[in-house]
Amino acid sequence: MSLQDLKDNLPILQLGISSTTLVSLFLLWWQVKQAAHWHRLRAQQALLDASSMKMEETLHHAASKVGVNLKARTVPLRQDEMERLLNDDTAYYASLAFLNDIESTCLSVQAGTVDEHLAYGTHAHRVCVCFKIFQPVVEHLRKHYQDDELLIEFEKVADRWSKKDLVQRQLREKMKGVGPRV
């Protein structure tokens, strides 16, 4: 092959190299997009992980040892109950671990790394009721650590989901009086 033949075929060679580069860039973009989708899927799967139940069980066990019954509870902790939880190391650290776990879930919701509808369906009752129960603890920890933002995602999501839950309950009550349409 002579130099003249190479010059004549240079545009074709450049087109081939450019096309290969474009296809490679497209495949790289596709791979990054798929990886992001996979990571989001894994984050949602982690949200459904049952390890939270083990943490909750540990908290219930530690709380019961100091005379605080959390089983099926729906009312805020009283001052004396909160003090018993915070003064016992096992109960204190079990409470912190549990609250931090809920904060992580709520942070994932706020950051958009998990689907909010999935998180709401899975954790709404737990988040809303637990914030109601542990609100005195959260306020105490905020004062103690002088950090008004401590567990703030937990509070934001609990507030938003409580309002949503109230609207849905009102809608269900309204629908009870409406018969089927024919």
4-56 pLDDT, tens per residue? Answer: 776 777 788 788 888 888 888 888 888 888 877 677 667 666 665 656 788 89
Q: Which residue has the tokens 């990886």?
A: 35
84-131 pLDDT, tens per residue? Answer: 999 999 999 999 999 999 998 899 889 888 888 888 988 899 999 999
Q: Within 13 Å and on the Cβ side, how many CA atoms surround 115?
A: 11
Contact yes or no for 127/52 (Cβ under 8 A): no
C-alpha to C-alpha distance for 62 and 131, rounded to whole angstroms: 19
User: What are phi and psi for residue 115, nearest 5 degrees?
Assistant: -70, 125
Closest CA to 40 of 106, 115, 101: 115
pLDDT band, residue 139 (cuts 50/70/90):
very high
Residue ranges of domains in the chain: 1-47, 50-174
Average pLDDT (49-68) is 87
User: What are phi and psi for residue 156, nearest 5 degrees?
Assistant: -60, -50
Closest CA to 129 of 107, 158, 108: 158
Tokens for 89?
Answer: 């190391």
pTM: 0.71
Residues in the chain: 182
> 93 versus 181: which is more confidently predicted?
93
Q: Per DSSP, which regions of 110-175 are E strands? A: none
pLDDT confidence of residue 178: 65
